[in-house]
Chains A and B, each alone.
Chain A
C-alpha cells in the first residue's frame, strides 16, 4: 500500500510539486475557480499595488468635498489676490498663505490645485467608468447575440462593428460638440441629452468603442455554443435567451472583466485627451486633461500645475493597467 502523507507546509503547491518530484502521492485538495484565481492574483505584487492605488484614488475622489471643506477652499473659488503675483502668475505650494494651505499651489485661475486635482479624479473616474459600462453593455450584448445566432444576425452585427471601427471618432466628437453645443434652451440635441459635458464625453467614448469587446465576446460565444452543456440545456427545454444569458454569459465573464479593467485607463486617457483639446469637460468642472492643457502654457513658471495632475493621471492609468494585467494572468491557466 502506498504511503500517504500530508505535508504541512505553507505553500501547498510547492508541497505538491515536491511530492510529485519524490514520487509520493499526497492528499488532493479541491479548489474553486475563485480560489485558484485569487491565489494566482495575490502573487502578483504589481497588481496588488495597483489595487491599493486604485482604492486610494477612489477614496480621494469620493471624499474630495470633504478635503475641500478641510482646507476651506471650494473647488471653483478663486484666490486671485492671495495666490498670484502682481502680474497674475499663480503661486506654488504653501502652508502659510493668508487664504490657508495650498498643498499643490494654485492653478492658472488662482484656485486650489489640490482640491481641483481631487475633483478631477471624480471626473475621470465617472467618465471612464460610465464609458466602460456603455462599452461593455453594448459589446457583450451584441457579442452574445451575434455569436449565438450566427447567420444573418451575426453578419449584420459584424458589419455594423466594421462600420464603427472605420468611424473617425475624434471628428465625430468635434462635429457633435459643434452641432450640439450652445443650443438655446429648448433646442438642444435629443432634448438636452447631447450637450458638451461629462455625459456627452462618456457616451461618445463608450458608444464608439463597443466593437472591440464585441469581437472578443463573439469569439468566445462561437466556441461555447458548441459545448455539450449547451446542448444539454437546450434538450431540457431552455429558451435561447436563457441559454445566452444564463449558460453562456457566465462563462465569458473572465475575459469581460479583464478587458473592462484594461479599457478603464484607456477611457481615462481618452477623456483627458479630449479635455486637453477643449472638446470634453466644460469649465469650470475640474478635469485632469484640462488642467494639463492649462499647464502646458504655464509649466515654465508654475511647474506644480503640470506635476500634480500629471502624477495623478499617470498613477491612475498605471494602476488600472497593472490590475488588468494581473487579472488576465490570474484568469488564464496557460500562464500559471
Chain B
C-alpha cells in the first residue's frame, strides 16, 4: 500500500511482535491501553484534536487509503466483519478478530465459499436506526468493484471474489460472488482460495453501506459526507437529516472541521473492543505541524493526529522527563527505502545495487532523522514482527555500527559492467543518476545528501532535484520515465508481508512498484528498454503465490522469510533504510492511550480524558 506516512521524523525503538490470538469480546478495560498512573478512566468529555492533512476522500470508506481515515472509520463510523484490538503488535494488535460477524464463518472444504452470519443488534445510526443486513455488505463489495468510483483504493486485493474482475472491467453490474442469502447471512464465493479473507474484511472498504445511502449518494466523497455510521459515533447533525438532501450534516465541514457525537443506537454489548471513552470528538483541519504541536503543549488541543514529532518538540520532550511521558512511540510496520529500477542503467546491474547497499552510512542517516528514537536501521525488506519474529536480525549488508563499508562496496562495484577498469568506481555518464525529493521535504533531501556522500566513493553521483509530491510519485511509477532510483516509504495495508512484496516488487507498472519487477517484455520494449537476458529471473510472482498458498502460520512466515532473503541477496531491487516509528504527542488531558497497530495511529476511541473524570 502506498500509505501517507507521517511527514515528521519518527521516534522510538523497536518492539518485537509476538503473535497473539484474538480473543472474544473483551471488556473495555482489558484493551492494552496505557493509562496515566493514578488516573481515573471514565467515559465523557470532548476530545479536541487537529490534523494538518485532511481525510483524502471525505471519509468515504470505499475510497479512503490513508491511515488516519482508516482509524476514524475503524474506531467510530464503519464496523466490519472483522476488526483489530487496536493495540500494539506485541499485545496482539496485528491479528484480526471478529466484529460484525457472529462467530467464525462457515468455510467450505475447498475454501471457496465463506458464509458469514451477521450479529444481531449491530445498528446503523441516525437517520436510519436499523439493523445492519447482509445486503449492506453486498453494496460495499459492488461499490468496491466499481472502477469509476474506486481508482485510488485497493480493489486489487479482492479479485479472488467471483465476478469481481468482471464488475471492475465493466462486464457486469454486480459482483456475482457477493450475495445476501438472507438479511442475516452474507456469502462470498471465490475463484481461488484466499486465506487473507479475515484481513481483507477488516478493511474499511468492506464496511456495510446501507442501500438507502448509496441510492441517495453513490458518488465518490459525497457518500462519506452522508456516511451512516455502524460504529459508536456518527457525524454531528445526522439526527433528523434528510438522507436524500444535498446539505451534509453540521459535523461534516469537509476540509475545515469535523465533529463526531455518539451513535444513539450503538450497542456496546455487540462490540466489546471499542470503549468509546469521549462523548464527543472534534477535529480542526489545517495548519502547520509545529503549530499543532504547540497547541498540544499549550493545552488548546488534546492531540495533533498527524503531527508526529518535530525536531523542536523532540528536543524539548527528550530533555524533560515529565514531557517525555507524553511522547508515545511505536514501530509503524513500515519501511523507508530506495527503489531501484532493475531495467535502467546503471541499476540494471545487480553489482551496482549491492554496492550501494554496502555504501550507505545508515547510522548517519538515522541520527540526522532524530537519533536512536527515529526507528531502527532496516537490514531487509519486510518490517520486523510481520513474519512472526523471523529475520528480526537479518541484514546481509551489515557493517560495523551501520556506517557503511566502502571497501566492500568497491569490491562489489568492481564486478559491475559499469566499472570498466575494475577499480571499484563506476565509470561514465551513466553513473550520474537523477535523484528526487519532494520539494522542501528536508528529511528526504538530507537523506539524498547523505547517500550521495557514500555513493560518490564508488563513482555514483546523485543529481539531486526536487519536485512536487504528485509529479515525483507519478514519474517514479512510470516505466517510460526511465528513473533509475526513487525514494519511497511504505506501510502495510494489513499485517501480511504480501502487502509489501505484492505492491512493491511485483506486477510491473502498478503505481507503487519502482523496481518494475514483474513487468512484461512488451511493456519494457514499448517504454524504450532492451529486454535483458536475465529478464525471467527478475520476477517473484510465483514466489508470492507460493507463499500465499501456504497455510497461515509458521509455514507461511518461513516462506515469506525465505523470499525476503532471496530479494535481498539475489535480486536486490531495493536499499532498505529504516523501519520508522509512529509518534504521538499527547496533551495533559489525555489519561489513557493505546496505539492501533493496524492503522498506525493512536486509538481514538480509547483516549480517555481527565476532564471526563473530573
Contacts and interface: CB of A to CB of B under 8 A. Distances in A.
Interface string B262-297: 000000000000000000000000000010000000
Interface in B110-149: none
A298 interface: yes
Contact of A87 (B370, B434, B442, B453): B370
A84 B471 CA distance: 33
B448 interface: yes
Contact of B466 (A87, A89, A185, A196): A196
A110 B368 contact: yes
Contact of B453 (A78, A277, A279): A78
Given A88-B370, A88-B371, A88-B374, A109 B446 contact: yes
Contacts of A72: none
Nearest to B440: A278
Nearest to B365: A80
Contact of B464 (A177, A284, A297, A301): A284
Interface in A91-129: 108-110
A282 B314 contact: no
A242 interface: no
Contacts of A310: none
Contacts of B371: 85-88
Interface string B76-103: 0000000000000000000000000000
A301 B315 contact: yes
A81 B364 contact: yes
A182 B436 contact: yes
Contact of B372 (A84, A86, A108, A109): A86
Contacts of A182: 434, 436, 465, 467, 471-472, 475, 481, 483
Interface in B354-373: 364, 367-373
Interface string B430-463: 0000101101101001101110110000000000
Contacts of A44: none
Given A283-B466, A293-B440, A80 B368 contact: yes
A298 B442 CA distance: 11
Interface string A184-196: 1100000000001
A78 B364 CA distance: 9
Contacts of B310: 297
Nearest to A79: B364
Contacts of A297: 290, 310-312, 442
A169 interface: no
Contacts of A184: 434, 481-483
Given A181-B467, A182-B465, A108 B315 contact: no
A85 B311 CA distance: 11
Contacts, number: 104
B439 A78 contact: no
Contacts of A86: 367, 371-372
Contacts of A334: none
Interface in B455-504: 464-468, 471-472, 475, 481-483
Contacts of B364: 78, 80-81
A181 B439 CA distance: 12
Given A78-B453, A108-B446, A178 B368 contact: no
A52 to B, nearest CB: 35
Contacts of A85: 315, 371
Interface in A28-79: 76-78
| Range, interface on chain B | 35 or more
Nearest to A109: B446
B318 interface: yes
A84 B367 contact: yes
Interface in A264-284: 277-279, 282-284
A294 interface: yes
A294 B310 CA distance: 13
B343 to A, nearest CB: 13
B465 A282 contact: yes
Interface residues of A, number: 33
Given A182-B467, A282-B465, A109 B369 contact: no
A300 interface: yes
A284 B448 CA distance: 9
Interface string B322-340: 0000000000000000000
A298 B314 CA distance: 12
Nearest to A187: B482
A87 B373 contact: yes
Nearest to B476: A182
Contacts of B450: 78, 80, 109
A284 B465 CA distance: 9
A283 B370 contact: no
A89 B465 contact: no
B353 to A, nearest CB: 19
Contact of A283 (B9, B290, B448): B448
Contacts of A109: 368, 445-446, 449-450
A177 to B, nearest CB: 8
B529 to A, nearest CB: 12
A76 to B, nearest CB: 7
Nearest to A197: B465
Contact of B465 (A76, A81, A181, A294): A181
A285 B449 CA distance: 11
Contacts of A76: 449, 452-453
Contact of A88 (B368, B464, B472): B368
Interface string A167-189: 00000000001100110110000
B442 A294 contact: yes
Contacts of B445: 109, 283
A110 B368 CA distance: 8
Contacts of A185: 429
B109 to A, nearest CB: 53
Interface in B231-249: none
Contact of A301 (B311, B434, B452): B311
Given A86-B372, A278-B440, A282-B464, A78 B449 contact: yes
B476 to A, nearest CB: 10
Nearest to A196: B465
A324 B312 CA distance: 41
- Most B CB atoms within 10 A — which of A88, A89, A177, A297? A88
A298 B471 contact: no
B466 A77 contact: no
B311 A283 contact: no
A253 B436 CA distance: 45
Contacts of B429: 185
B471 A178 contact: yes
A87 B311 contact: yes
Contacts of A293: 440
A278 B442 CA distance: 10
A278 B466 contact: yes
Contacts of B367: 80-81, 84, 86, 88
Contacts of A282: 464-466
B311 A89 contact: yes
A298 B312 contact: yes
A85 B373 CA distance: 12
Contacts of A78: 364, 368, 449-450, 453
Complex A-B, nearest 8 residue pairs according to Cβ-Cβ distance, in ascending order: A278-B439, A87-B371, A278-B440, A184-B482, A80-B364, A88-B368, A86-B371, A300-B312
24 contacts: A76-B449, A80-B367, A84-B367, A85-B315, A87-B314, A87-B315, A88-B9, A88-B367, A88-B371, A89-B315, A109-B368, A109-B445, A178-B471, A182-B471, A182-B472, A182-B481, A184-B434, A184-B482, A284-B449, A284-B464, A293-B440, A297-B290, A297-B310, A301-B311
Given A78-B364, A88-B369, A283-B445, 7 more contacts: A86-B367, A87-B318, A89-B315, A181-B471, A184-B434, A297-B312, A301-B315
